[in-house]
Structure 1
Amino acid sequence: MELDALRANVRAFHPTTLPTTGKRHAAVALVVADQAILLTRRTTRLRAHPGQWALPGGRLDPGEDAVDAALRELSEELGVDAPRGSFVGTLDDYPTRSGYVITPVVLVLDDTPAITPNPDEVAEVHVIPFADVDVEPRYLRIPESDQPVVQLPLVGTLVHAPTAAVIYQFREVALHGRPTPVAHLEQPVFAWR
């Protein structure tokens, strides 16, 4: 896919923003470089969501917007200092069962960056080609919710929401120009208990 077309698709998308009152506002960096995205696995030593697949991200600091937070977290977690000019747009806010509203920030880099993972936060980093991102999601039902849990088959395993929901919407919006909502897609119980 041509990056100009990807940028145009993301810029044409009108993301849904959710209120953050009573929630913690977070941002994740969906980093595009050389026809691929970056995906991490959190270290098992983290207190919150240990060992889960994630996009670089975290809570907004006072005075930050979602783009500032995504760029800061990308630098802290992967040692990648992306310029603010790499910001293309955002996807829909995703509400988590653990009390966050996540804003996905799409960043497009000219080249694959040198990556230096922070071992206190990141156990693995994977560069996922668009061909692997362009996969059909799997859905399953759980007794705790009337909405389906979304899973994406990536890196030889299943990645769950919220990360799977964000990557799936990226696939739909950026790669195919389809404004597909994902906020209703459920997370597995282990992600919120």
Structure 2
Amino acid sequence: MPVDEDRSEYRWSDVPTDHLRREVAEALGAFSRRAIDPDGRKSAAVLIAIVKNAEGQGIWLTERSPGLRSHAGQLALPGGKLDPGEDAEAAALRELHEELGIATPRSAVLGLLDDYPTRSGYVMTPVVAWLGHSPDPTPNPAEVAAVHWIPLSDLDVDPLFVPVPGSDRPAIQLPLLGGHLHAPTAAILYQFREVALHHRPTRVDHMDQPRFAWE
């Protein structure tokens, strides 16, 4: 599939597995990602884990446990802050294991997307990994209330750019799972779609978040 091919209506389930993995890795390798100095903020990482099942290729989204002190009940990618001595790749894979019980070698990592600064005081590094056929996740109930598998084709939706009271920057929303996914997760998945799947260099670190994400 040539890089300049129009993929707007492409059925990702039809792409041979090895071909898709190679294309995603090449797209991420060619992308000039932006790293952000934490400058007093906490460093964190999230994992976009590409997983194959009978329906094709997709990713996991978690629903955060209602007992968590922050962002309870929200949809999120597996992830969390870096432990001392960790880099983003190690932290993202560790969080996947802690949250979903899936152990993945570092060799599964295909690349990184732009750092995303959050209103809650973090700089998030999105890590993309190829898991292939993976065991079913076993959610840690202390952190994860539910796991959703999202087909790659479901990411090919028209994003919504909405105003944020008190901000001169719009927030992005993605229609998913019968509702709307909000930033930062929506921004990160939008960039993943544009860069890794459609080979369109796209920046999202200027996009804001809804007020409930940082108040």
Name the TM-score class by shorter chain: over 0.9
Partner of 2:36: 18
Amino acid paired to 1:82: T
One of 147, 168, 177 as aligned partner of 2:199: 177
CA distance in 1, matches of 2:205, 2:114: 7
Contact 2:169 2:207 (C-alpha < 8 Å) held by counterparts: yes
**Post-superposition offset of 1:113:** 2.9
Partner of 1:52: 74
Deviates more, 1:117-126 or 1:2-11: 2-11
1:41 paired to 2:55: no
Q: Per the alignment, in what secondary structure is the counterpart of residue 123 of structure 1?
A: strand
Give % identity: 55
Partner of 2:45: 27
CA distance in 2, matches of 1:57, 1:10: 20
CA distance in 1, matches of 2:110, 2:22: 11
Q: Per the alignment, in what secondary structure is the counterpart of residue 110 of structure 1?
A: strand
Q: Per the alignment, in what secondary structure is the counterpart of residue 186 of structure 2?
A: helix
**Post-superposition offset of 1:14:** 1.4
Partner of 1:189: 211
**Post-superposition offset of 1:7:** 1.7
Partner of 1:7: 25
1:129 paired to 2:147: no
Q: Which runs of 4+ in 1 moved over 4 A?
A: none
**Post-superposition offset of 1:21:** 2.1
Contact 2:24 2:110 (C-alpha < 8 Å) held by counterparts: no
Q: TM-score, normalised by structure 1?
A: 0.97
Partner of 2:11: none
**Post-superposition offset of 1:74:** 0.3
Give the number of the structure whose alpha-carbon radius of gyration is greater: 2
Amino acid paired to 1:65: D
What count of residue pairs does the alignment treat as equivalent? 193
Amino acid paired to 2:47: A
**Post-superposition offset of 1:114:** 2.2
Q: Per the alignment, in what secondary structure is the counterpart of residue 133 of structure 2?
A: coil
Partner of 2:174: 152
**Post-superposition offset of 1:124:** 1.2
**Post-superposition offset of 1:136:** 1.6
Amino acid paired to 1:23: R
CA distance in 2, matches of 1:144, 1:93: 23
Give CA-to-partner distance per residue, 1:34-87, whole Å, 9 cap, x none. Answer: 210111110111001111110000000000000010010000000010111000
Contact 2:60 2:148 (C-alpha < 8 Å) held by counterparts: yes
**Post-superposition offset of 1:30:** 0.6
Give CA-to-partner distance per residue, 1:113-161, whole Å, 9 cap, x none. Answer: 3210000101111110011012121111122111111101111110100
Q: TM-score, normalised by structure 2?
A: 0.88
Unaligned runs of 5+ in 1: none
1:119 paired to 2:119: no
CA distance in 2, matches of 1:107, 1:119: 24
Unaligned runs of 5+ in 2: 1-14
